[in-house]
Each structure stands twice: as C-alpha cells, then as structure tokens.
Amino acid sequence: MECIGCGLANHTLPVDMVYENDLICVVLDHHPYNEGHVMILPKVHVEEVDELDEETANAVIKAAGLMAKAIKALYKPDGITICQNGGIFSDLSHFHMHVVPRYKHQSFADFYSDAPIDNENARNALAETKMKFLAAIKEIVSSSGL
C-alpha cells in the first residue's frame, strides 16, 4: 500500500493542491485548524526532517514563506504557526510541515488535542479556499518574480 503522504504529494490521492514544484506539493489540510491551513509535503518519500536532502529542505522552507505571505494576504491572522511532527506524532508516516493561520483568542494546544474542533465551515469551504490561494499565490509570484 502506498504511503498516504506520497499519495497526497504526487496526486494519486485526492487533494486540494495550492502550489507545487518538482520537489514539493502544498495542499489544503482536509481537517483544517483554521481556513487557510496548509501542509507542505516532499514528493519523495521521507519520514523525518533529518532525512530531507538540502535541496528539498530549501524547497520546503521557501514554500512555507510563500504560504505565509498568501495566508497573511487572505486571512489577516494575528500570527502564523509553522510546525512539523515526527516519529510517533506524525499521522502520515511522511514528512509534512503545517502552516497554520492563528488568531489571538485561540489556544494552540487545541491543535494537538484529541477533542473535536469546530471546523465545519473551513471544511465546507475547501474548494473556495483553494481558489483564493491559487489567485493569491499567482499574484505574489508575479509581483515578486519568484
């Protein structure tokens, strides 16, 4: 059976992809903490951050910066949290980095809680969120020459 992360990064599983290049794919999290929550996945199978080659690691960081710009433009969050869970804490068994818009009233402990979060609106808006991201990223890339 194929790794779920490989399936997401390489589009053999359904994804809401908002950005990709030869090394990485950025998808909307299907269970977002907030609208605009994305995951960056390398296209090659890597489980841990220390297994990333330098070129892929740089692509991940550059994508995180691009996603942060898009999130700021679209959602005006109070901040952005970028995190990666390894070992037994990784639910994909494939390296992935979360980029999550955050707001002052939220406790990020809820991100790691097993208690359900109220994200029905964000989940129902994934198609619209994808279109917003694609437009914002296109604007950022064209205006900055990335």
Superfamily of domain 4-140: HIT-like (3.30.428.10)
pLDDT in the model for residue 110:
65
Render 67-83 in DSSP notation, one character per residue. Answer: HHHHHHHHH--SEEEEE
pTM of whole model > 0.75?
yes
Q: Is the dihedral of CA 31, 94, 111, 108 positive or negative?
A: negative
Q: In a structure prediction context, what are the per-residue pLDDT tens digits for the chain, which is 146 residues long? A: 679 999 999 999 999 999 999 999 999 999 898 999 999 999 999 999 999 999 999 999 999 999 999 999 999 999 999 999 888 888 888 999 999 999 998 876 666 666 667 788 888 889 999 999 999 999 999 987 65
Nearest partner of 62 among 8, 104, 27, 20, judged by Cα = 20
Q: Which of 42, 4, 9 is nearest to 23 (CA)?
A: 42
Q: How is the chain split into domains, by residue range?
A: 4-140
Contact call for residues 68 and 127 (beta carbons, < 8 A): no
CA distances from 135 to 68, 112, 123 (A): 14, 30, 19
Which of 103-110's residues contact partners 24+ apart within 8 Å by CB, and which partners?
A: 103/34, 103/77, 103/78, 104/78, 106/34, 108/81, 110/33
Side chain identity, residue 76: K
